[in-house]
Amino acid sequence: MTKPEIKCFVCGSDDTAKTYLPCYHEGKEKIVCTRCLPALIHGSH
């Protein structure tokens, strides 16, 4: 059984670099890293 690919949909980092959380964006389940999460919560200004 192969391990599913974990990659941040915002910055593209892979599962060896950061902590990741599942989320839903545009009706699809995606993965976001904790570095990109604040921009999704507060908007990128």
Q: Is pLDDT above 60 for 21?
A: yes
Number of domains present in the structure of the chain: 1
pTM for this one? 0.76
Q: Show the domain range for 15.
A: 1-45
Write out the two tokens for 4: 């599913």
d(CA 10, CA 3): 21
Write out the two tokens for 45: 């200004």
* Cβ–Cβ < 8 Å for 6, 31: yes
Side chain identity at residue 8, one-letter code: C
What band does 34 get if pLDDT is binned at 50, 70 and 90?
A: very high
